[in-house]
Chain A
Amino acid sequence: MSWLPTGRYQVPAVNFNVDKMTKPLTGSEILLESLHHAKGEVCFGLPGGAVLPRCDALYSAGIRHLLVRHEQAAAFAADGYARATGKPGVCLVTSGPGATNVITGLTSALMDSIPVVALSGQVPASLIGKDAFQEADTVGISLPCTKRCFLVKSAAEIPVVIDKAFKTAVSGRPGPVLVDLPKSVLMERAEARFPPANAGKRAERIREWRQEDLGRAAEMILESRRAVLYSGGGTIHSDAWNELTELSELTHIPVTTTLMGLGAFPSRHPLSLGMLGMHGSYATNTAICECDLLIAVGARFDDRVTGRLNGFATKSKKIQIEVDPSEINKNVGVDAA
């Protein structure tokens, strides 16, 4: 990594001592130790008044922090990191404008189910609601554009919140999570207890196939003559591309992918149909119109894919393979899921 930042950015991680369970640390130090626990290695961000305590701790913590020139880029860079690795991308921004500038990035991550963890500064707890300098209702603003968001109320709860934030971002259907950290919380000292790595794993509602549905789907596949596999971003998020290829090659069913799904199936594969939808090829879209069975894998029947709904794949039965129960029958009714 010869091109990586040199000098102070490569200071080795501070050893937070063996007695860290009892020695009071500042909220910033607890936050960084929590990031270590969550295996956050890189973060993208831009400092400001409300996060100065955290920047001070970063200085000596050895987490690679990249200074971007606008917070929107921090969110997009964290998103790019997450898409390329499958691990959560982290961005750190200050209160007020720092937080509002990441909203576009978080919304994009939510729409595409990308695990991004945004850590935003907030004015000291005693000033919240007083229209303080660079105050914004960050949790309020980010509620509709994150999978979950937290306002941290004390330094002692930071380890649990960060642990939850990282686990929520990647579990079930992934998505962005925001953690709002008031300056007073970052400065106060507390005894931190770090949850073990396997603790508190949230049981998310993930759709499982029932045996009878599985049998019905298998029969539909056997009976079909003109089947098409329609694969979306979910195939990539759930690392299911090998299974997709296996299913396609086993059944000789060609695969079309959405814009989100590109890469899950090799473009040059003889069974590849490329992208479908608004700018899909003639052959692919005609195949969708003429197919008698459409198997959706980790795809959500976006309007740019379906066009007018009552004209989409009208001659076909449909099977939907999907982890998120709220996606079943949302835009297009299916025969098995």
Chain B
Amino acid sequence: MRRKIRQGRQAANEYRQEWLRQIEAWREEHPLAYDKCARTVKPQYVIETLSRHADEDAIVSVDVGQHQMWAAQFFDFYTPRTWLSSSGLGAMGYGFPAAMGAQLAFPNRQVIAIVGDGGFQMTLNDLATVAQYHIPVKIAIINNHALGMVRQWQEIFFEKRYCDIDLNFAPDFAKLAESYGIRASRVEHRADVADAVRDFLSDREPRLMDFHVDRAENVYPIVPPGASVSEMVVEPPPVLVEEESLDDLWAV
């Protein structure tokens, strides 16, 4: 068997190189991408920037929804046990408390909770716990003022009949955190993201950063529910008419 394996490996490796070249060609055809020239704060850009400035052994904890998928796509992982996500159940509200738990286990490592504005509102009462025990978790809110993944599905699969996704009536998260005695700020402009992230990750204090991101951004590629993997939609369809303002749509 061993000899057979050794001989087989020689031949197999040539096929393998061909296969890897083929995958590379697919990757070049449709890379994971977003509009890098956009004037708005693209959520993927925030995640990429966090990834670039985070420690290699930083622990990342996420909630459930669009930001979770962007984090999975655009955050670079180097070691195991650095990614905490309620994956099977998909329980919103998981990210922030899980980050506290991980920080208790590793007081000296960077622990970043990347959460959405929806999920964070489910468990943000534990800001008091962070303040009480001075747990130095970093809370990055990817704030699109909506239940973004539901909005995306309504947009793509329910002909933009938006319903129950409006999270405009949220507190000012930075002010809220400050009322607990936690340093916090808000980022609304693309040009401020890099500096804000560097500052955010620079100390060993609990911090909150509220990133107001592009409200219309969607997660791509997507395999529509019930479809096979080969039927994935790689890019958003081209916009034919001028988009109505999402704010107007939700005002109903």
Contacts and interface: CB of A to CB of B under 8 A. Distances in A.
A66 B129 contact: yes
A192 B5 CA distance: 57
B26 interface: yes
A275 interface: yes
Main secondary structure of the interface of A (DSSP, over half): mixed
B222 interface: yes
A104 B98 CA distance: 13
Contacts of A307: 223, 226-229, 231
Given A282-B30, A288-B229, A308-B228, A225 B19 contact: yes
Nearest to A282: B30
B81 A72 contact: no
A280 B83 contact: no
16 contacts: A3-B204, A66-B100, A73-B96, A73-B126, A83-B102, A111-B89, A251-B9, A264-B80, A271-B20, A274-B73, A280-B223, A283-B26, A302-B88, A307-B227, A307-B228, A311-B230
Contacts of A72: 93, 97, 123
Interface string A222-239: 111111000001011001
Interface in A133-185: none
Contact of A69 (B59, B93, B126): B126
A253 interface: yes
A259 B231 CA distance: 20
Interface residues of B, number: 81
A59 interface: no
Interface string B1-45: 100110011001101111110111011011110000000000000
Interface of A: 1, 3-5, 42, 44, 64, 66-70, 72-74, 76-87, 89, 104-105, 107-108, 111-112, 215, 218, 221-227, 233, 235-236, 239, 241, 251-254, 258-260, 262-264, 266-268, 271, 273-275, 277-283, 285-290, 302, 306-308, 310-313
B104 A66 contact: yes
Nearest to B2: A218
Interface stretch (B133-141, B154-162, B164-172, B190-198): B133-141
Contacts of B96: 73
A312 B100 contact: no
